[in-house]
Amino acid sequence: MQFRHEVKHEVSNHDLLILRQRLRAVMKPDPHAVNGQYEIRSLYFDTPDDKALREKLDGVNIREKYRIRLYDHDPSVIHLERKFKHGGLGSKASARLTPEQARAIVDGNVAWMSRSTNEVIQGFFIRIRNECLRPKVIVDYVREPFVFAPGNVRVTLDHHIRTSMNCTDLLNPGCVTIPVKDDPCILEVKWDHYLPDLIRDAVQLDNRHSAAFSKYAASRMYD
């Protein structure tokens, strides 16, 4: 399991404009982005008593969560992701899913997962069986990603964060989502062993501190 440094800041819409201009000057756009951005839809899973949510709100130092994610509402590329956090470090592993597999998981048809040789799918199946993980909420947002080769740096600007209302059908384009409280924008910086000064200066904002913002936690506001 390879860990990367991860820092998040909740920023204003004005900050977003400033950061966008700075990052465009010193970093390259992610090659997967079309016109500099893409839409992300994630379906998060949790236990019946909301273990992942409680651990996040309580500031538990070591935690794990699972989600299914697709980009620009394109069902041809769907990922099951396991995100592991240890303080300010994070690690992510993923497995490709077919649309049929994703729908089966959402519907609770998971027996097929026991026959998979993929480590992420196997781990998810064990958590489903042992802790009764189930779909909880969909989160939609727009991401503007930037990359910088030295330090393997990735900086993202996330905005227009929306949450579903009683809908966990990830592949349903008609699933209604509404803005989360306060319509936040999120700056996230990830790097391997060092963060170059050029990037550190570009993302520096006065009177801003790293914040434990969670799109998943924010999306549960209407529960």
User: φ, ψ for residue 142 (rounded to 5)?
Assistant: -100, 135
Owning domain of residue 19: 4-219
For residue 53, the surrounding DSSP H or E stretch is helix 51-57
Cβ contacts of 211 within 8 Å, gap of 6 or more: 8, 9, 10
CATH of the domain at 88: 3.20.100.30
This prediction's pTM: 0.93
Tens-binned pLDDT, residue by residue, of the chain (223 aa): 789 999 988 999 999 999 999 999 999 999 989 899 999 999 999 999 999 999 988 889 899 999 999 999 999 999 999 999 998 899 999 999 999 999 999 999 999 999 999 999 999 999 999 999 999 999 999 999 999 999 999 999 999 999 997 899 999 988 989 999 888 999 999 999 999 999 999 999 876 666 667 899 888 876 6
Planar angle of CA 127, 41, 1, nearest 5 degrees: 45
Closest by alpha carbon to 214, among 27, 28, 85? 85
What is the total count of domains within the chain? Answer: 1
